[in-house]
Amino acid sequence: MTSVRIEHISKKFGTTLALDDINLQIAAGEVFFLLGPSGCGKSTLLRLIAGLHEPTSGRVLFNDRDVTSLGTDKRNAVMCFQSYALWPHMSVRENVRFGLEIKGLTRDEQNRRADEALGIVQMTHLKDRKPNQLSGGQQQRVALARALVVKPDCLLLDEPLSNLDAKLRLEMRAEIRKICRQAGLTAIYVTHDQKEALSIADRLAILSNGKIEQVGRPTDVYLRPNSKFAAGFIGETNFIEGVIRQIDGGRAVIDSTVGSVTSTATPFDGLSPGANVTLSLRPEAIRLGNPSVDAPNVFDGLVHDTVYLGEVAQHQVNLSSKQGETVLKAFELNPKIVARDEARAPAKVWFDPGDVVMLSR
């Protein structure tokens, strides 16, 4: 397995700075995601790792070997694009073994390795079909088999599921992770789909305007975002503006637009009383109902809209304070009612201090 290290990589296209001093360490055997909105630089970074672009400055290292000046074939990095790029006149097996023909392997060895790769993606029974006889999900499996058959050191995936319908995307998420594990691959995966990243990645990096906003495990980035951009990009969240009144060890009190809020979502690095902060509060952390007598962060609200989605109900809740009215989104898991009959139903709103993340940027 291969580790990948990115050192001070920058890339300019003319006067446009696509990547700005990127540093990353990707462990051998890791499924690592590059995540961000369109134009953030994630696909450019993937192509630099593949050897399809040359950096303006910086280095790319595979297992501490500098591969910056090497072509894709010399790096043994294989890229899967969102368009499967299968040869329409070739069978599934012929598509998969094509890369081995170029390498000059014997026909017997080509067939053996092609059948092995097709077995990993569960496509052996369709090896004689043409691509136009396959579904989108089956074509994606063939594209993966074609990448696996050359035994790459690094598998690079550029939005591989974007052409599939919702049901197939869900099925292929688990399959891709399973295939990478089974093949012992280091995989770097580009997407703008947050749920895809959260469900597959060992770790992920969020990019914005050519810079890295945050790197970490999916749970850490989701529960403890380090910026307003990261919090808003990964999942849904409520933003509440405020000023820190006091910090006492692992507990902070914030005067916010909804009233006094307590946070214990440490660390509070670089924050001090008097600082302006934005609070990030996930919708699923907000509870509606009767809290315990000593519960912190309890407010009176009005539920003015509810959307029932089966396993969850989405509520829009109004909280009023001296500073005006704030609308929060709250998710109720396993709701027992389809919708509230009252247009503006009163409700107690409360949330745990550990779910209130303070952001300084």
Q: What CATH number does residue 312 fall under?
A: 2.40.50.140
In this structure, the answer to whether residues 33 and 159 fall within a common structural domain is: yes
Beta bridge partners, 2, equal none
In this structure, the answer to whether residues 84 and 190 fall within a common structural domain is: yes
Q: What is the mean pLDDT of residues 275-285?
A: 96
Estimate to the nearest angstrom the gap between the alpha carbon of 325 and the chain centroid.
33
Lowest mean pLDDT among 80-94, 207-221, 239-253: 80-94
In this structure, the answer to whether residues 119 and 268 fall within a common structural domain is: no
Decide: helix, strand or coil at residue 139: helix
In this structure, the answer to whether residues 39 and 160 fall within a common structural domain is: yes
In this structure, the answer to whether residues 115 and 160 fall within a common structural domain is: yes
Decide: helix, strand or coil at residue 67: coil
In this structure, the answer to whether residues 26 and 161 fall within a common structural domain is: yes
pLDDT at 20 > cutoff 90: yes
In this structure, the answer to whether residues 20 and 107 fall within a common structural domain is: yes
In this structure, the answer to whether residues 8 and 147 fall within a common structural domain is: yes
Percent of the chain at pLDDT > 90 equals: 56
pLDDT confidence tier of residue 205, bands split at 50, 70 and 90: very high
Range 99-109 burial, b when 16+ CB lie within 10 A, else e:
bbeeeebeeee
Give DSSP secondary structure letters for 263-295.
E-----TT--TT-EEEEEE-GGG-EES---TT-
Q: Which helix (H) or strand (E) holds 341?
A: none
Residue found under tokens 């696996």: 148
In this structure, the answer to whether residues 20 and 82 fall within a common structural domain is: yes
Q: Which two tokens stand for residue 335?
A: 């709701």
Q: What is the mean pLDDT of residues 151-160?
A: 87
Count: domains in the chain: 2
pTM: 0.87
Q: Which two tokens stand for residue 299?
A: 């407010």
pLDDT confidence tier of residue 244, bands split at 50, 70 and 90: very high
Q: Which of 194, 228, 262 is the last residue of a domain?
A: 228
pLDDT confidence tier of residue 341, bands split at 50, 70 and 90: low
Answer whether 340's CB lies under 8 Å from 251's CB: no
Return phi, psi of residue 48, to 5°. Answer: -65, -40
In this structure, the answer to whether residues 326 and 193 fall within a common structural domain is: no
pLDDT at 344 > cutoff 70: no
Q: Which of 228, 249, 277 is the last residue of a domain?
A: 228
- Residue 350 CA: distances (Å) to CA of 49, 110, 287, 288: 46, 62, 5, 7
Q: Which of 228, 255, 271 is the last residue of a domain?
A: 228
In this structure, the answer to whether residues 216 and 266 fall within a common structural domain is: no
Model pLDDT for residues 89-142, shown as the tens digit of each residue? 999 999 999 888 888 888 999 999 999 889 888 889 999 999 999 988 888 889
Domain ranges, residue 93: 4-228
Q: What CATH number does residue 21 fall under?
A: 3.40.50.300
In this structure, the answer to whether residues 243 and 212 fall within a common structural domain is: no
